[in-house]
Amino acid sequence: MKYAGIFGIFALLCVSTTAISQPIQIKKEYASTLLDLTNTLLDLQISPSAHADCGALVCKNCNVLHTRAAEAAYPFAVAYRITGQTRYLKAAKDAAFWLIGEQELNGSWKETPEEWTGTTTDQLLMLLLSYEIIAGKLSDKEKTQWMEASRRAADYLCQVMKPEFASINYVATTTATLAKAQEITGVPRYGDKAHEMARRTVSKMDEYGFINGEGGRGVGAKSGVDLGYEMEMSLWGLGLYARITGDTLVNNRVRHALKAHLYFIYPDGSLDNSWGVRSNKWTLYGGATSDGCQALFSLYAKEDERYATASYKNLLFLRKNITPGGLVGYGPHHMNVLKAVPCIYPTFTKAKNLALAYQAETSETRSYAALPSEKQGWIKYFANLDVVQVRTKNFMATVTGYRYKDQMAGAKSKYMFRPDGGTVSYLWAEGYGALQASSVTEYSRPEPMSFPEAPGVKSLTPRISYTDSLGYFTNLFEFDARLVASESKNDQFKVEAKGELKNRNWINGGVAYGIDYTFADNHIEKKITLTYHDALPVVTITEPFILEPGTKIHQENDSTVLIKGSKMSFLFTTNGGEQLITARDLKNYWAPYPALAACPLELVVSPPEQGFIKTIVYKISIKN
């Protein structure tokens, strides 16, 4: 049965798994991790008052004093509110006044070491929120200095901020920033500008609340959806604006959007931004430079018990990514694959998010309520995104055919190396975790500060590809794939993807493909049909599997590979006829984002001796 409709779900079973029997001590949990992260940041702060950069935070990875790191003033201020310890008060003041000293003449702050000034909205909002907490501990001179810097920054944002200037998350954040600026300073034009930008932002939402505005620039404003930046930046910015101003239209749009976004919190709390236009910074817990989803869920926690559950489970997952030195890494395997302390960005952004969540949460405890991803037996097709989610008893998967194209920049665009073409961009298994997870098709460093060096890395995304004299062709560069999702008999679900193997310029190479997925409780079957119409290359099907700690991969024969995890094991089996290669170029199968290591399994497919069609069938099964 073909699945129809803009946005819907086939549901067979509704069995909640991994339920938590006790109420969640949600504010206590926020405070615990917040204090851990602020203590790490405090150790990195330059503290001697005589030092020229007193208050700045040292980044041992970048050897730069990031101006954005001074947003830690707010987590420090909230830590002071929680504990009453004056060391946090001093840290908040020192960070704020160092930032004030770095302000440009036009009122902006540069995002050192870069020239970008859009982050002025983030820095100003943290100054304003910190001021509300510690104003009583400031002298009259300090208050004047703080407010003068805040007004200059707000004036700058009023002048420049709009979708034509920045990605939409900056515009959404600025709605909250200027609403708070009006509330504190009493300047009416700040509120007027906030209202204007809020309406402009929600006008870019589709029918299910996904915001177009994170990718490349068209004739003016940007387009393209990125779930990560929406959940960790844009939606909480709009939600906070609505709470400050009482704007019910914007509030209702955010409430509506949150219902759809909730599906992308996986059973273990990971946030699935495997397919978004800015997935090149996906870390599994969220994004490397975006704030976090706890602020958003806390703003709306009283409306749906599942929001606090999602927030808490993501928090638990985030904790798994804290490195031995106390900094948040770029993914679960950070110290294994990068072997270096991370930049402080993920730490201070997640700390400020938890500070926001702590302040926004109105209850000490929340009841546990099962997430959509914890319920078994459903398939959901987001036709507005060309993305499919499938949940069986033991697996959850995302299949992406998201069709966004940066038509102005083409292959030069950093947004066009996300996975696509009907691939599985994220595969989770009960008892294992991330079994497969995507990374960029070609790694580059569009923002040298944010993207570490990673010479020779290969994509972690499952793919079909070949290389010949004309170049490299893969389904991952097919941004016009056609997806169909359907329910079949025996509690199984079908997803079909069809397209052409293309090069990085989106040009056909001469081989079409079809992928027929069958998702069952205990296995996933892939049937790949190759149609050779203008070329006869040797095609390679690559299936990388994430190497969780303790995982061993062993090829047992020409058609079987054992993936033996510490708690759950799997068999990769093929019907034969293709060459099965295990662990070729193993040392190159790692990624900075998400920081993971994987082992590739490859099926090498020769062109047909007769005819023009070749079919390959293989399974990923749970080993009993």
**What's the pLDDT at 576?**
83
Stretch 58-77: mean pLDDT: 97
DSSP 302-359: GG-HHHHHHHHHHHHHHHTTB-TTS-B-SSTTHHHHT-SPPPSHHHHHHHHHHHHHHH
The pLDDT tens digits for 271-292 are 999 999 999 999 999 999 999 9
**Model confidence at 9: pLDDT above 80:** no
Q: Distance (Å, rounded) from C-alpha 26 to C-alpha 472? A: 49
Question: For residues 603 and 615, is the Cβ–Cβ distance under 8 A?
Answer: no
* Mean local confidence (pLDDT), 523-542: 98
pLDDT of residue 178: 98
Share of the chain above pLDDT 70, in %: 97
Burial category of 313 from C-beta neighbours within 10 Å (exposed 0-12, middle 13-18, buried 19 and up): buried
Predicted confidence at residue 19, as pLDDT, reads 58
Return the pLDDT at 472: 98
Determine whether 382 is exposed, middle or buried from the number of CB atoms within 10 Å of its CB (0-12, 13-18, 19+): buried
- Per residue in 216-233, pLDDT (tens digit) is 998 888 999 999 999 999
Stated pTM of the model: 0.96
- Mean of pLDDT over the chain: 95
Please report which confidence band the pLDDT of residue 22 belongs to, taking 50, 70 and 90 as the band edges.
Answer: confident
**Res. 249: pLDDT tops 50:** yes
Q: What is the mean pLDDT of residues 18-27?
A: 81
Given a contact cutoff of 8 angstroms between Cβ atoms, the answer to whether 607 and 538 are in contact is yes
For residue 190, what are the CA distances in angstroms to 97, 109, 243, 356? Answer: 23, 18, 16, 21
Beta carbons of 371 and 261 less than 8 angstroms apart? no
Hey, what domains does the chain have and what are their CATH numbers? 17-373 (1.50.10.10), 375-622 (2.70.98.70)
The answer, yes or no, to whether residue 15 has pLDDT greater than 90, is no
Q: What pLDDT is attached to residue 101?
A: 98
User: How deeply is 562 buried, as exposed, middle or buried, from its count of CB atoms within 10 A (0-12, 13-18, 19+)?
Assistant: middle
Q: Check residue 303 and give its pLDDT.
A: 97
13 has a pLDDT exceeding 50:
no
Q: Packing angle between helix 26-44 and helix 305-319, nearest 10 degrees? A: 30
3-class SS string, 216-276: CECCCCECCCCHHHHHHHHHHHHHHHHHHHCCHHHHHHHHHHHHHHHHHECCCCCECCCCC
> What pLDDT band is residue 21 in, cutting at 50, 70 and 90?
low
- Say yes or no to pLDDT of 4 above 80: no
**Residue 1 scores a pLDDT above 50:** no
Q: Which of these, 615, 514, 133, lies nearest to 358 by C-alpha position?
A: 133
Each residue of 111-142: pLDDT tens digit? 999 999 999 999 999 999 999 999 999 999 99
Q: What is the largest CA-CA distance in the chain?
A: 86
Partners of 131 in the β-ladder: none
Which of helix, strand or coil describes residue 552?
A: strand
- 528 forms beta bridges with 515, 616
Cα–Cα distance between 497 and 501 in angstroms, integer?
A: 12
Q: Find out whether 441 and 577 touch, Cβ atoms under 8 Å.
A: no
Q: Is the pLDDT of residue 12 over 90?
A: no
Is residue 297 scored above 80 in pLDDT?
yes
> CA dist 392 to 4, 9, 153, 379, 519, Å?
20, 13, 50, 9, 7
CA separation for the pair 416, 216 (Å, rounded): 9
Percent of the chain with pLDDT over 90: 94
Mean pLDDT of 93-105: 98
Give just the sign of the alpha carbon dihedral 469, 470, 471, 477: negative
